[in-house]
């Protein structure tokens, strides 16, 4: 079946050095990808066609990468992200301001039939409670204005991680409408805990108890980077040709169990 093939597609991926991004490179290769550009602080060891050293928290670095890439991208995977072991402003810069800036730089030149897939998180599932404030941030155009707004909103933003992932989920839905007018779909995956180099950071900020509980109450095993990469590859491919504006839960059923009252909350007590 040709719809899953990445042969001849120009793919751009942020955060391809480790974890989900590194697994995605492997999966895309298996699906025939022959033109992968990675933007990251660190160069992946996997074979890729192009590496551009990029700090996704720095607008100058992002703009330079975008102009090197130019027009004609088929699929953009916005995957780079950091945990709240880093300062909240930095988390917001990398996880949402940088993701949005790169997207805005590349989208106008993307090919019809293309796709953008963001790596969000189940940590962003509580976005409905913050929708109005998130819309305000997403409406800000300038980088410095965005950073200033973040400083003004610290009580809502808190440690930055949950709020930044709420913003990614809302941005995915908001962008899906204008983007489809040029034939580009926009979706995200929302992973629960994944066994990557970032997981110890989440254990440090959210506690072992909460992470182990979320794993036990989901599929009963931690997600592998490849579990997530396969979902990313699906959303970026023509298999998902009519899927647009969806935040796809890739959480082993954790959110479904939570929503239907089947999760054992007593394990969190004490």
Ligand X SMILES: NC(=O)c1ccc[n+]([C@@H]2O[C@H](COP(=O)([O-])OP(=O)(O)OC[C@H]3O[C@@H](n4cnc5c(N)ncnc54)[C@H](O)[C@@H]3O)[C@@H](O)[C@H]2O)c1
Residues tagged active-site? 161
Interactions with ligand X, residue window 223-242 (CB under 6 A)? none
Q: Give the residue, chosen from 11, 25, 28, 80, that forms a contact with ligand X under the rule CB under 6 A.
A: 80
Q: Which of 127, 89, 118, 123 is nearest to 205 (CA)?
A: 123
115 vs 194 by CB, closer to ligand X: 194
User: How would you list the strands of the sheet with 75-78, edge to edge?
Assistant: 50-53, 36-40, 11-14, 75-78, 115-119, 185-191, 247-250
Kindly state whether residue 21 participates in binding ligand X, applying the rule CB under 6 A: yes
The set of residues, in sequence order, having a beta carbon less than 8 Å from that of 197 and lying 6+ positions away, is 18, 19
Q: Give the residue, chosen from 114, 191, 218, 252, that forms a contact with ligand X under the rule CB under 6 A.
A: 191
User: Cβ 26 to ligand X, closest distance in Å?
Assistant: 13
Q: Which of 120, 234, 116, 97 is nearest to 169 (CA)?
A: 120
196 vs 244 by CB, closer to ligand X: 196
Contact string (CB under 6 A) for ligand X, positions 45-64, x = contact: ---------xxxx-------
Kindly state whether residue 41 participates in binding ligand X, applying the rule CB under 6 A: yes
User: Cβ 74 to ligand X, closest distance in Å?
Assistant: 21
Distance CA 221, CA 25 (A): 23
Interactions with ligand X, residue window 107-166 (CB under 6 A)? 119, 121
Candidate segments 29-37, 63-71, 101-109, 192-200, binder of ligand X by CB under 6 A: 192-200
Determine the Cα angle at 88 with ends 209 and 157, to 5°. Answer: 85
Per DSSP, the chain holds a count of helices (H) and strands (E) of 12, 7
Q: Residue 93 gets which letter from DSSP?
A: I
User: Cβ 234 to ligand X, closest distance in Å?
Assistant: 16
- Report the interface residues with ligand X, using CB under 6 A: 14-21, 40-42, 54-57, 79-82, 94, 119, 121, 191, 193-194, 196-199, 202
């Amino acid at each position: 079946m040709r719809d899953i093939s990445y042969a001849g597609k120009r793919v751009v991926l942020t955060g391809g050095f480790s974890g989900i991004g590194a697994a995605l490179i492997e999966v895309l290769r298996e699906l025939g990808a022959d033109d992968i550009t990675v933007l990251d602080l660190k160069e992946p060891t996997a074979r890729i066609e192009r590496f551009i050293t990029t700090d996704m928290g720095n607008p100058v670095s992002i703009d330079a990468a975008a102009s090197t890439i130019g027009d004609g991208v088929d699929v953009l995977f916005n995957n780079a992200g950091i945990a709240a072991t880093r300062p909240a402003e930095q988390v917001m810069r990398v996880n949402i301001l940088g993701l949005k800036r790169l997207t805005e730089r590349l989208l106008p030149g993307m090919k019809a039939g293309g796709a953008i897939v963001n790596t969000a998180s189940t940590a962003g599932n509580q976005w409905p409670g913050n929708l109005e404030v998130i819309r305000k941030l997403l409406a800000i155009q300038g980088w410095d204005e965005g950073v200033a707004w973040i400083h003004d909103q610290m009580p809502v933003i808190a440690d930055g991680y949950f709020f930044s992932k709420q913003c990614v989920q809302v941005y995915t839905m908001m962008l899906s409408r204008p983007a489809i007018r040029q034939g580009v779909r926009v979706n995200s995956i929302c992973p629960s805990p994944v066994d990557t180099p970032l997981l110890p950071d989440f254990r440090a900020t959210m506690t072992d108890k909460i992470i182990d509980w979320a794993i036990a109450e989901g599929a009963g095993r931690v997600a592998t980077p490849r579990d997530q990469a396969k979902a990313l590859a699906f959303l970026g491919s023509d298999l998902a040709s009519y899927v647009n504006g969806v935040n796809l839960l890739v959480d082993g059923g954790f959110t479904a169990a939570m929503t239907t009252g089947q999760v054992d909350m007593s394990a969190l007590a004490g």
